[in-house]
C-alpha cells in the first residue's frame, strides 16, 4: 500500500480529463495560491442572506453608490420605470424618479457615474438623469440634447458613448462629451470644449473605462481617448484592432485593471494592452454553457475584501430568465472557480449604518439576524458585495456556507506508487480529504471514479462519508485510471488536498 498526496489544482475544465494539471470542477469556492506550484487553496462561498425585504416595481437594471459632503453613504438603484435610493432609516427602496418616470427597454441597463456631489444615470431610452447627493430628493434631466448607453467621467468631462440625438438619431459608434467641468452643458463649443467623435470601423461602443487614460471599448476594437486641450480636445488612438467586447454587462474596472468578455473568452485591459485570462482554462467551458440570448441578465461585481471578480449569468439550463451560475476570477493569482448563483443581480455597494431599534424592527430576534454582529455590513460606509432578487429585495452574502464540490484530475495511481513501475492497475482502498473547519459541524464525502481506457466513460462509486475518527472514506475499487470527487458541507474554512491509499495490481 502507498499513501499518495494529491494537492487541489486549478480549475481548468477546457483541458482534457487525462493528464490535466488542473481540476475539471471546482464549484462553490474561491481559489487562492496553494502551497506548491500549480496547487490552489480553496475558500468557502456563502449563500445570499436577506438584508432588506424591500422591492422595486420591476427587475433591477442598475445601481450606484456615493456619499454626500458629510460622508454619509448613499445607495441608488433603478428598474425599467423608476430610480430609487435605499433609505438609511428603513432599508427600503424609495422612489426619487423625475416626474413621469422612465421607459427603459427590456435589454437596456441603467449605468452611472459620480461627478462631484452628483450621481448621473443613463439608460439610452430617456434623457440622462442627475441627482445632487447633498440634497438627495429627486432625479431630473441632466440635458435634453443627447442620450447615451454608456457613461464615464475623465479630465473634468462627462462622456457618453453609443448615443442618440435629435439631429443624427442613434449613432452607436459615437462618443460625445460635455463642457469641461460643466456636465449640464452639451452644446458644441470651442470655448467650453464640448464636442463629439465618431469611431468608425469597430462596431458599436460597448463601454467606456478610465484609469489615467480613457478607453472606449467597442465590439471589434479598443480606442484610447487622450485629452490634448483646445481646439481638438481629445486625441483618438487605436489600441486594439479586431478584438473587443461581446457583452457590455461583462465590463468591470478594478484597481485600474479592466475586464470583459469577448467573442472567444475573457480578457484584461491594462495600459492599452489586452491579455487573455481565460485561455486554456475556462473560455470553452463558459461559452458552451453561457446562454447568450439572455446576456442582458449578466451582472458583474468585485469583492472589495478579496481580489475577486464575479460574473453572474444564465446558463443554457436556465430557462426561466433567472441567472443560475457565476464564474469567479482571482486577479492576483489568476485562478478561476465557479459557483451557484443565489441572487438574480449582483452589485458593488456600500453599507448603511444600523441602530438597535432598526435591528428590532427588521429582524425581531437575534436568531433572525442574517450575519454576525462583527460583519462590516452593520457599519456604515463599508464597501460590500450585495445582491438583489428579481423584485429588488436586497441580500448580503453572509448566509450559510455553500457545499464545496471538487473533482480531481484523472490519474493513473499505479504509476504514482513509489518503487513500483511494473503495475498497470491500482486498488484504491481509502481517501482522506484535507481541509479545515468547525469540527463535527463539517461533513466530508468522497466518490471514486474509475475507468480502464482513456476514452471510456468514467464510472462513479457510491458517495461515502468520511469516518469521524480516521477522516478516511473507505473503498475497494480496482482500475487503471482514477478520479476523485470531494464534497464538503458545513462551516469549512479552507481545503487544499486529498490523500489516497493505493495498492498496485495487474503487473505485467
Structural domain 2-43+403-507, CATH architecture: Sandwich (2.60)
pLDDT for 438:
80
pLDDT for 1:
67
Distance CA 182, CA 180 (A): 5
pLDDT for 416:
86
pLDDT for 359:
46
- Residue 461 C-alpha cell reads as 462509486
Distance CA 221, CA 226 (A): 16
Beta bridge partners of 217: 207, 222
pLDDT for 420:
61
Q: Residue holding cell 422591492?
A: 55
SS (H, E, C) 117-172: CEEEEECCCCCCEEEECCCCCCCEECCCCCEEEEEEEECCEEEEEEEEECCCEEEE
What residue ranges of the chain have pLDDT lower than 50? Answer: 356, 359, 366, 373, 378
SS (H, E, C) 416-432: HCCCCCCEEEEEEEEEE
Structural domain 60-306, CATH architecture: 7 Propeller (2.130)
Beta bridge partners of 330: 308
Distance CA 340, CA 406 (A): 14
366: left (phi over 0), alpha (psi -120 to 50) or beta: alpha
231 upstream amide cis, omega within 30 of 0? yes
Distance CA 111, CA 105 (A): 14
Task: List, in order, residues 6 or more apart from 169 with CB less than 8 Å away.
Answer: none
Distance CA 296, CA 250 (A): 10
Q: Residue 116: which of 135, 93, 138 has the closest Cα?
A: 135
Give the number of C-alpha atoms closer than 13 A to the C-alpha of residue 174, restricted to the C-beta side. Answer: 15
Domain extents in the chain: 2-43+403-507, 60-306
Distance CA 390, CA 312 (A): 14
> Residues 87, 89, 90, 91: what is their CA dihedral angle, to the nearest 10 degrees?
50
Cβ atoms of residues 249 and 300 within 8 Å: yes
- Residue 257 C-alpha cell reads as 485593471
| CATH fold match for the domains 2-43+403-507 and 60-306 | no
Distance CA 365, CA 478 (A): 54
pLDDT for 356:
43
The tens digit of pLDDT for each residue in 430-486 reads 999 999 998 789 999 999 999 999 899 999 999 999 998 999 999 999 999 999 999
pTM for this model (two decimals)? 0.92
Distances from the Cα of 388 to the Cαs of 56, 310, 359, 378, in angstroms? 10, 14, 20, 18
| Alpha helix (H) residue ranges in 242-392 | 283-289, 356-363
Distances from the Cα of 241 to the Cαs of 171, 201, 218, 344, in angstroms? 20, 10, 10, 34
Q: Residue holding cell 482502498?
A: 429
| Alpha helix (H) residue ranges in 253-355 | 283-289
Instruction: State how far Cα 60 lies from the chain centre.
Output: 17
Amino acid at each position: 500500500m502507498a499513501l499518495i498526496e494529491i494537492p487541489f489544482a486549478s480549475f481548468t475544465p477546457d483541458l482534457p480529463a487525462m493528464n490535466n494539471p488542473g481540476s475539471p470542477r471546482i464549484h462553490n469556492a474561491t481559489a487562492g495560491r496553494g502551497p506548491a506550484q500549480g496547487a490552489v487553496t480553496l475558500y468557502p462561498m456563502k449563500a445570499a442572506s436577506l438584508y432588506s425585504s424591500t422591492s422595486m416595481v420591476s427587475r433591477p437594471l442598475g445601481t450606484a453608490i456615493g456619499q454626500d459632503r458629510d460622508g454619509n453613504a448613499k445607495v441608488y438603484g433603478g428598474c425599467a420605470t423608476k430610480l430609487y435610493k435605499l433609505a438609511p432609516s428603513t432599508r427600503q427602496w424609495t422612489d426619487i424618479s423625475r416626474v413621469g418616470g422612465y421607459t427603459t427597454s427590456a435589454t437596456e441597463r441603467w449605468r452611472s457615474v459620480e461627478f462631484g456631489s452628483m450621481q448621473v444615470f443613463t439608460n439610452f431610452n430617456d434623457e440622462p438623469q442627475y441627482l445632487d447627493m447633498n440634497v438627495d430628493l429627486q432625479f431630473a434631466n441632466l440635458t435634453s440634447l443627447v442620450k447615451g448607453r454608456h457613461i464615464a467621467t475623465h479630465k473634468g468631462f462627462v462622456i457618453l458613448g453609443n448615443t442618440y440625438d435629435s439631429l443624427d438619431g442613434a449613432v452607436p459608434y459615437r462618443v460625445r462629451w460635455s463642457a469641461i467641468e460643466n456636465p449640464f452643458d452639451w452644446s458644441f463649443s470651442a470655448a467650453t470644449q464640448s464636442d463629439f467623435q465618431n469611431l468608425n470601423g469597430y462596431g458599436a461602443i460597448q463601454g467606456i473605462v478610465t484609469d489615467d487614460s480613457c478607453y472606449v471599448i467597442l465590439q471589434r476594437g479598443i480606442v484610447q481617448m487622450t485629452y490634448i486641450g483646445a481646439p481638438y480636445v481629445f486625441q483618438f488612438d487605436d489600441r486594439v484592432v479586431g478584438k473587443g467586447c461581446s457583452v457590455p454587462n461583462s465590463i468591470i474596472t478594478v484597481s485600474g485593471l479592466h475586464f470583459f468578455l469577448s467573442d472567444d473568452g475573457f480578457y484584461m485591459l491594462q495600459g492599452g494592452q489586452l491579455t487573455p485570462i481565460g485561455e486554456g482554462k475556462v473560455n470553452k467551458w463558459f461559452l458552451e454553457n453561457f446562454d447568450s440570448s439572455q446576456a442582458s441578465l449578466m451582472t458583474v461585481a468585485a469583492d472589495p475584501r478579496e481580489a475577486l471578480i464575479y460574473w453572474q449569468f444564465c446558463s443554457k439550463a436556465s430557462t426561466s430568465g433567472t441567472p443560475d451560475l457565476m464564474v469567479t476570477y482571482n486577479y492576483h493569482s489568476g485562478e478561476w472557480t465557479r459557483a451557484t448563483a443565489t441572487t438574480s443581480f449582483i452589485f458593488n455597494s456600500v453599507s448603511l449604518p444600523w441602530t438597535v431599534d432598526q435591528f428590532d424592527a427588521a429582524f425581531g430576534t437575534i436568531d433572525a439576524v442574517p450575519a454576525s454582529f462583527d460583519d462590516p455590513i452593520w457599519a456604515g460606509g463599508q464597501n460590500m458585495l450585495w445582491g438583489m432578487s428579481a423584485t429588488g429585495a436586497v441580500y448580503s452574502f453572509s448566509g450559510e456556507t455553500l457545499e464545496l464540490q471538487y473533482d480531481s484530475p484523472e490519474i493513473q495511481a499505479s504509476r504514482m506508487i513509489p518503487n513500483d513501475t511494473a503495475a498497470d492497475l491500482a486498488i484504491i482502498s481509502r481517501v482522506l480529504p484535507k481541509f479545515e473547519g468547525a469540527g463535527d459541524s463539517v461533513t466530508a464525502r468522497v466518490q471514486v471514479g474509475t475507468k480502464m481506457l482513456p476514452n471510456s466513460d468514467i464510472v462513479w462509486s457510491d458517495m461515502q462519508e468520511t469516518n469521524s475518527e480516521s477522516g478516511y472514506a473507505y473503498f475497494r475499487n480496482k482500475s487503471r485510471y482514477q478520479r476523485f470527487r470531494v464534497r464538503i458541507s458545513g462551516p469549512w474554512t479552507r481545503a487544499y488536498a486529498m490523500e489516497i491509499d493505493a495498492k498496485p495490481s495487474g503487473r505485467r
